[in-house]
Structure 1
Amino acid sequence: MDKNGKILIVDDSKFNREILSEILNQYTVIEAKNGYEALEYMKADKNIALVLLDLVMPEMDGFEVLKYMNQNHLIDEIAVMIISIDKDDQSIEKAYELGVSGYITRPFSSAVVLKKVNNIISHYKRQKKLTTIINKQIYEKYKNNDMMIMILSHIVESRNGESGLHVLHIKKLTKLLLNILVKKTNQYSLTLDDMISI
């Protein structure tokens, strides 16, 4: 696993991909020649930290990739920086509206590309660290809740032999029912965290 995260370069030009790979040789780089291939990489590899995306590509252009990433919440996990010949203000504005972290037009300075990539990767590492800390805290909270329910069920059971097990069974049944409910309808906005916390 790459601690820095991987960089995915998406461009239909092999020459452009090679130039960027050379500039970013301190990182693990993956190359995709079109939007479809890029999305397959993003779905399969959870260590991609940054996508360097060209906008003008045949079959599936950069905007279509961004729309897919937004619809499937990949943009929340993976930063995107546009590197394109397209200098049109509307394209730049649209790209930022779709959640990109940066926009560089060609021709570009190698030093500027490297600096911007370093900044985005640093932000990615901080975000991953924070996510890990928060997940640990959430796990501890749920563990403590389960322990409290167990203690209370033992207290209840010591007063009434059947009630303690009843409390634990009710908890299990509630989780099962909520799980079925969420699968059957989207009427209730229950997250996995909501169900675990019961």
Structure 2
Amino acid sequence: MSDISGSRILIVDDAPENIDILSNALQSFKCIAALNGEKALKIAKGSNPPDLILLDIMMPGMDGFEVCRQLKENPDTQDIPVIFITGKTDVEDETRGLDLGATDFIPKPISTPVVYARVKNHLEFSQAKKKLKIQYEESVLQNKFITDSINYAKRIQTAILPSAGDFQNLFPDSFLLFLPKDIVSGDFYWCGEHEGKKIVAVADCTGHGVPGAFMSMIGNTLLNDIVYAKQISKPDSILAELDSGIIDELNKDLHEGTLDGMDISVCMIDQQTEKIYFAGAYRPLYYQYNGELFEVKGTKKSIGDNRKSVVFELHEIPFQKNLLLYLFSDGFTDQNDSEGKKFGSGKLKQILSEHADKAIQEQFQILHKAFLEHKSSEAQRDDVTFLGIRI
């Protein structure tokens, strides 16, 4: 129960005997009085405003309706509860008072138990409302602080990911569709070149938002070390090193219950030797060859899953001019529509097959439009990353 014993009650009435009756009924509160509207407004706007106002309607000069109107128009006094004490019981008068912002009407002749009960209830409600307002304002500030921090994390993540320019320089005939579910993404993409071999990867980390973003930064750092420091370029070896690195980074030997990690597809393109290799951890590669769409499934093990000990399978992809490669996270195919139906791999394969002869950027527009139309007004359920590359 709220402590309202020290609440200040302003009684506004041109009849001193009515003020006395109300003051006696409200002895447990601090009562102050005003004999007219002008004095009431001055007190209400002062340095120590009342917590509630009992206001007579029929007063000479400024009546109670006008006092209430001015109180509710002033930001400094508009939250003070106003209860009309009046002999006017017409519906029109009550409606007018409530429209002006009054919280209640108490008819004359005055019943002291009723006055006390209503004042007590409105004071408790007003105090609860003030606490809620303070809590709301605090939550708004906390939310702003958190959002600002996440936006800064997005800047860091964006700086770590390959820029659009870097990606286009490495793969001139390509597209990138990157749609984080939240401000930061649990998906990430990586590309690099070592000794003439071009390497590209798309990863879907455990979770999304901030936890996924942390994992994506670990994955990005490890890939840089694997390719550039350890000079590993074969996709199956990259995945084996990445798996070992994630387990070591997260101390999974000490925390066997954790399943944090990522699903990832890695492709290496060596145009000098005309070789393309692929390996995946629960993620496939789609490619167009001789007018036909093929799917190469990844190994059934997530990166960082220390419950499984398997060898990541290496696949060689037939090399030909204008070969199309597609790497993507499951956020694209798992997106539901308004009826709960997923986009699905079948629909995706159909779109890719039907538009394989189109320019790569036109394919991007078609895929993006198809995704948005399928999602419609539904919330995006996961991060989405989709890479298309024409050799």
Q: TM-score if structure 1 supplies the norm length?
A: 0.68
Residues 5 and 47 of structure 1 are in contact (CA less than 8 Å); yes or no, is this contact kept in structure 2? no
| Pairs within 5 Å for 1:63-142 | 63-73=65-75, 76-142=78-144
By relative contact order (CA 8 Å, sep 6+), the higher-ranking structure is 1
- CA distance in 1 between partners of 2:89 and 2:77 (Å): 22
Residues 75 and 99 of structure 1 are in contact (CA less than 8 Å); yes or no, is this contact kept in structure 2? no
CA 1:46–1:135 in structure 2 vs 1: closer, same or farther (change >3 Å)?
A: farther
- CA distance in 2 between partners of 1:105 and 1:19 (Å): 14
- CA distance in 1 between partners of 2:106 and 2:69 (Å): 19
Residues 54 and 84 of structure 1 are in contact (CA less than 8 Å); yes or no, is this contact kept in structure 2? yes
The alpha-carbon deviation at position 81 of structure 1 amounts to 0.5
- CA distance in 1 between partners of 2:123 and 2:83 (Å): 11
The alpha-carbon deviation at position 15 of structure 1 amounts to 1.6
What corresponds to 2:9 in structure 1?
7
- CA distance in 2 between partners of 1:120 and 1:29 (Å): 15
- CA distance in 1 between partners of 2:54 and 2:129 (Å): 19
Equivalent position to 1:53, from 49, 55, 77: 55
Larger radius of gyration: 2
| Pairs within 5 Å for 1:31-50 | 31-45=33-47, 47-50=49-52
- Measured on the aligned residues, the alpha-carbon RMSD in Å equals 2.7
Q: Deviations over 1:29-75 (max 9, x none)?
A: 22111111111111124652211000011121101111212322466
Residues 5 and 28 of structure 1 are in contact (CA less than 8 Å); yes or no, is this contact kept in structure 2? yes
CA 1:99–1:74 in structure 2 vs 1: closer, same or farther (change >3 Å)?
A: farther
- Bigger share in helix: 1
CA 1:119–1:55 in structure 2 vs 1: closer, same or farther (change >3 Å)?
A: same
Residues 58 and 64 of structure 2 are in contact (CA less than 8 Å); yes or no, is this contact kept in structure 1? yes
Residues 85 and 106 of structure 1 are in contact (CA less than 8 Å); yes or no, is this contact kept in structure 2? yes
The alpha-carbon deviation at position 89 of structure 1 amounts to 2.9
- Give ranges in structure 2 of 5+ residues lacking alignment: 159-391
Residues 36 and 60 of structure 2 are in contact (CA less than 8 Å); yes or no, is this contact kept in structure 1? yes
- CA distance in 2 between partners of 1:91 and 1:43 (Å): 26
- Give ranges in structure 1 of 5+ residues lacking alignment: 157-198
The alpha-carbon deviation at position 105 of structure 1 amounts to 1.4
- Bigger share in strand: 2
CA 1:9–1:150 in structure 2 vs 1: closer, same or farther (change >3 Å)?
A: same
What corresponds to 2:232 in structure 1?
none
Residues 12 and 34 of structure 1 are in contact (CA less than 8 Å); yes or no, is this contact kept in structure 2? yes
Which one-letter code corresponds to 2:121 in the other structure?
N
Q: Indicate the percent of aligned positions where both proteins have the same amino acid.
A: 31
